[in-house]
Chains A and B, each alone.
Chain A
Amino acid sequence: MSEERFDAIIVGGGLAGSAAAYTLAKAGLEVAVIERGTSCGSKNVTGGRLYTHSLRRLISDFEETAPLERKIVKERIVLMTEDSATTIEYGAEKLKDDSCASYAVLRAKFDPWLAEKAEEAGAFYITGIRVDKLLQKNGRVCGVIAGEDILEADVVVLADGVNSILAQQIGMKKELAPHQVAVGVKEVIGLDEKTVSERFGVNAGEGVACLVSGDPTGGSVGGGFLYTNKDSISIGTVVTLEHIGSGKGVKVPEMVERFKANAVIAPLLAGGELLEYSAHLVPEGGYSMVPELFWNGVLLVGDAAAFVISLGYTFRGMDFAIESGRLAAETILLAKEKNDFSAAGLSDYQAFLEHSFIMRDLRHYRNMPQFMDSPQMYKEIPALADEILGGMFVVDGSASPKLTTSVLSTVNRSVSLTELVNLGLKAYGAL
């Protein structure tokens, strides 16, 4: 690496890092992005559905060139037991509107596209290099250390993802706790494009997002996800680290096998070929997990800042990563005008975040992590749906009880009415 000094160094060429780099480079700043993978995206995993509102603000014509897999036009929520599945499907024309459009993406393809946009704007990418430490002088961060090399800058943006070891090293973040993060295990399964469209009942270019609660994790707090790509399916499970081993005691790598074997999922994958197996952590603590966001000469963005909300029926981290990257860049542009990169000079970041959807939504759903931590959500509720619907649709010639009697007796047996009411009230409070 050269002795050159940059206006800004960004650690991590994921979505948050490249959104920051793009914004800074476009404004004419000298910016370097350092990425440990051989190419951007080669270390990154998402579910993945990207809500595009923040990307549209960054690059309005992204749809013309971005590698988008399929536009999500159908939403499915599934309550799953070992041998049953209760599915709610929602489809609406408005899901296709530009204002709320969402697409399935694959990060090893999407991240290089965003990085290329930033490079075109003038950002300098250094890939295949791991930053080992932050360079600090006189109580402020002023660069990075990678092996023998030192690179200096006015400000460093930590876009290094959920583990953010660098933010931990300088004390901005504590070690992650097992209740704050979940591990996602994912498979990408290749199928031809026509088969994907036919199996999911969608037109070419359109797709389905499906979130699952219940059996995949064997009753542990977590769930399953499935997204349709152009000619593959992304499928996986997510489980909070704290709860691994609870419920039926299913090992993490077995969860995805369990999910794939479920009778409603297996036919969707038939004839498919495994293209990749991956795993990644997801911050799940919500608002209470957000660390110190800026300090002298340094800002945190994306997963490093724990900007993720997990609501059970949807997952959002990528739109937060892009927006926080852009806002960190806007903050740096102001700091450059003032020539003040101290914590005080960077404090506009907090105000920008407060006025954006990031802090608004994190605050709005601040009680969600506690609600999602209810084991009933993953065990009793799917079982309840199974018993009630099974009672309605299993016709074998024997005497059927009156529907109300059968529903009430089922409810009483699997979960007490008080528990159900409490869960409902908790949901009401969390939403």
Chain B
Amino acid sequence: MAKMSVDDKLGVDRFLTDEGNPHILIDETYNDEKQINRVVMACPAGLYTYEDGKVSFNYEGCLECGTCRVLSSGKLIKSWSYPRGSKGIEFHQG
């Protein structure tokens, strides 16, 4: 099998994005690099990026695992909840 990027993999999944209503909010002023890098490395969907001292995050594509919540709740993660009922990732295999 050819190597696939995470974005391509997420492209295979089905999402019902709750437009304009992110279920995870991050503190954009948070600046502990070590902590930020941990979350960047850990997110299975690769949704966190850290470039030029700035962290960015996109909730679309979230697999709702909770990894970032456990690693950085109250630090980089300002608030974390599951998306509203029926929104978000929809697995067909599981």
- List the interface of chain A (C-beta within 8 A of B): 36-38, 41-46, 106-111, 127-130, 146, 162-163, 165, 175-178, 181, 183, 185, 187-189, 232, 234, 241, 244-245, 249, 251-253, 257, 260-261, 266, 269-272, 274-281
Contact = CB atoms under 8 A, between A and B. Distances in A.
A38 B89 CA distance: 10
30 contacts: A36-B86, A38-B90, A43-B90, A46-B94, A106-B93, A106-B94, A108-B94, A127-B86, A128-B85, A128-B86, A129-B86, A130-B84, A163-B69, A175-B73, A176-B66, A176-B70, A183-B44, A183-B65, A185-B44, A189-B1, A241-B70, A245-B37, A245-B42, A249-B41, A251-B40, A252-B44, A257-B4, A260-B1, A266-B1, A280-B65
B92 A276 contact: yes
A188 B38 CA distance: 26
A332 B30 CA distance: 46
Contacts of B9: 187, 274, 277
A277 B40 CA distance: 18
B31 interface: no
Contacts of A252: 41-44, 67
Majority secondary structure of chain A interface residues (helix, strand, loop or mixed):
mixed
Given A244-B41, A253-B44, A278-B93, A183 B81 contact: no
Nearest to B39: A244
Contacts of A276: 12-13, 91-94
Contacts of A45: 91, 94
Interface of B: 1, 3-4, 6, 9-10, 12-13, 16, 37-38, 40-46, 63-67, 69-71, 73, 81-86, 88-94
A37 B66 contact: no
Given A245-B37, A252-B44, A183 B94 contact: no
A261 B3 contact: yes
A146 B86 CA distance: 13
A108 B91 contact: yes
Contacts of B84: 130
A109 B65 CA distance: 20
Contacts, number: 142
A54 B94 CA distance: 21
B67 A269 contact: no
Contact of B85 (A146, A178, A249): A146
Contacts of B13: 276-278
Contact of B66 (A106, A130, A162): A162
B65 A43 contact: no
B94 A278 contact: yes
Nearest to B65: A279
A241 B42 contact: yes
A146 B4 CA distance: 39
Given A42-B94, A252-B41, 6 more contacts: A38-B90, A43-B91, A251-B46, A252-B44, A260-B1, A277-B13
A163 B86 CA distance: 18
A49 B86 CA distance: 27
A364 B64 CA distance: 32
A258 to B, nearest CB: 10
A183 B82 CA distance: 17
Contacts of B10: 277
Contacts of A110: 94
Given A244-B38, A260-B1, A275 B44 contact: no
Contacts of B63: 277-280
Contacts of B44: 183, 185, 252-253, 279
B65 A253 contact: no
